[in-house]
Amino acid sequence: MGEHTVASFDEELGSIDQLIRDMGALSATMVADATRALLSSDNPLAQRVISDDAIMDAKQRELDEQAITLIARRQPMAQDLRAVVSAIRMASDLERIGDLAKNIAKRVGAVGQSATPKPLAHSIDSMASLVHDQVKNVVAFYAERRSEELPALRADDEKIDIKYTAIFRELLTYMMEDPRNITACTHLLFCAKNLERIGDHVTNIAENAYYVMTGRQLPMSRPRVDETAVSDAAG
């Protein structure tokens, strides 16, 4: 073995990082496409998101395989090992983001052609665009090792939660106004909840990325809050 040119540990980790960047780019696209498909009843686009999810799954399996092979062959010590384990965790969060985007895409048919009221469509679009940027940025900050950007990025998850709570209340109003809205609004509710959960996965990725880069936990860990899941939303 010694006479071969052997790639360094960092080079092999670089190949794993490339998979994370690919998964990050694809999952951000899936979030944007799923939302566009939902708000414009675009079934072919929804289908593309659904098939993109198979690519995400394949990339995650590839990353897992590479990571395990790397650990087995290189037997890295504490810090390098943590980098590989963190990559496995980030890939798992990205894969779940893809899953959640796929779930939005699968509801496009159920929501149907019934035009989503303009203000509601605007709220959902604005929430999705924030979520999309968060997904894109967290992977960019990880890839470019810009740890100093991560605290503000994680703090922005609160903006997503605030938008989710507003959409939740808006949807309840539409449902109460007219029972014929209930089925479609129920599916939109799950879509909004999925976007909120994507934000939580971004938070996980930010925390993992920060830890790998700095060896420290992101200060002042923020609890993932769904404000609608507490008693004050009952009224």
Q: For residue 132, what are the CA distances in angstroms to 34, 40, 74?
A: 11, 18, 36
Listed in sequence order, the residues at least 6 apart from 53 whose beta carbon sits closer than 8 Å to its beta carbon are 30, 98, 99, 101, 102
* CA-based nearest residue to 185, from 175, 194, 195: 175
* CA-based nearest residue to 195, from 155, 152, 161: 161
Q: For residue 198, what are the CA distances in angstroms to 135, 171, 201, 212, 216?
A: 8, 20, 5, 21, 24
Q: Which region among 28-36, 55-63, 148-156, 185-193 touches its own copies (by CB under 8 A)?
A: 185-193
- Using CB under 8 A, count the residues that bind its own copies: 41
Q: For residue 68, what are the CA distances in angstroms to 88, 117, 212?
A: 9, 49, 18
- Residue 44 vs 144, nearer CB to its own copies: 44
Burial of residue 45 (number of CB atoms within 10 Å: 0-12, 13-18, 19+) = middle
- Residue 36 vs 82, nearer CB to its own copies: 82
Residue 133 Cβ vs its own copies, minimum distance, rounded to whole Å? 25
Residue 205 Cβ vs its own copies, minimum distance, rounded to whole Å? 14
47 binds its own copies (CB under 8 A): no
Structure tokens at 36: 């566009």
- Interface pattern 60-89 for its own copies (x via CB under 8 A): ----x---x--xx--xxxx--xx--x--x-
231 binds its own copies (CB under 8 A): yes
Residue 63 Cβ vs its own copies, minimum distance, rounded to whole Å? 12
165 binds its own copies (CB under 8 A): no
In the 8-state DSSP scheme, what is residue 231? G
- Residue 9 vs 190, nearer CB to its own copies: 190
Residues 90-129 touching its own copies, rule: CB under 8 A, are 92, 103, 106-107, 109-112
**Contact positions vs its own copies (CB under 8 A):** 64, 68, 71-72, 75-78, 81-82, 85, 88, 92, 103, 106-107, 109-112, 168, 172, 175-176, 179, 182-184, 186-187, 189-190, 193, 226, 228-231, 233-235
